[in-house]
Amino acid sequence: MTGRLTGKVAFITGAARGQGREHAVRMATEGADIIAVDLAGPLPPAVPYDSATPDDLAETVRLVERTGRRIVATAADTRDLDGLRKAVDSGVATLGRLDTIVANAGICVPEPWDAITPDSFRDVIDINVTGTWNTVTAAARHIIEGGRGGSIILISSAAGIKMQPFMVHYTASKHAVTGMARALAAELGQHNIRVNSVHPGAVNTPMGSGDMVTALQRAFESNPQLAHMTTPFLPAGIAETADVAATVCWLAGDDARSITAAQIAVDLGSTQY
């Protein structure tokens, strides 16, 4: 590894497993200390994959500490702004600074448009949009106060570039995250803070496999001609968490110091047609 993040501190949401854990471990391997947050508890009932647990968050802690870096981990809900502020404040008090925010936490519920309930729509928007806003609101002031500039990375989705069928609420939420990143980039640029969005397609995590795939296939049955809208160009067909984490680390480091308000797709080409 390059050590490109040596001396920096990153705040990561949804860090208990999947992409969030990969971001934490990869950034620690690159030299960063980590402030980690995860709900580590039950997700809304419409979500078709298992929730992360306290044991999952503890495993992230173990893996980060194995790199030799420090980590402050808290179970918190990104919909709870006060809870996020307490988690970030505690982490900064322990680790001394903040340089990077990775707003990773989110949910996905594949459903035809007319099967989406008011509760399901609300849950997706609250977690993916309000939760992302709360993450930035709770933490950005620490980067500003540090006076060193920094990087904010919002994890959107391929659905934040190109609409994805059978996910109206998810597509709406991820387009909102894309716009949020661009708007924040404009206002935070005066503090030398870069804001970019990352757009994974299918990724080999609990969100991208297992019961999630079954739910998506069931939704496709309602309109089969839409099934090939997200076909990738590359033969792997699905990205690994390490692919997304490598992009996040690059955006967090000085190699990307001139890049802001960009949408970086990690989707094997699936959004390009």
Active-site residue numbers?
170
d(CA 134, CA 104): 12
List Cα–Cα distances, 151 to 54, 133, 187, in angstroms. Answer: 28, 15, 13
Alpha helices in the chain, H assignment, sequence order: 18-29, 54-66, 81-95, 118-125, 131-146, 168-188, 211-220, 241-252
Q: In what order do the strands lie in the sheet with 33-38?
A: 71-75, 33-38, 9-13, 100-103, 150-155, 193-200, 263-266
Q: Is 66 exposed, middle or buried (0-12, 13-18, 19+ CB in 10 A)?
A: exposed
Q: What is the C-alpha separation between 90 and 174, in angstroms, rounded? A: 29
Q: How far apart are CA 60 and CA 134, in angstroms?
A: 22
Count of other CB atoms within 10 angstroms of residue 54: 13
* Selection from 80, 71, 77, 75 nearest residue 105 by Cα: 77
Residue 3: exposed, middle, or buried by beta-carbon count in 10 A (0-12, 13-18, 19+)? exposed
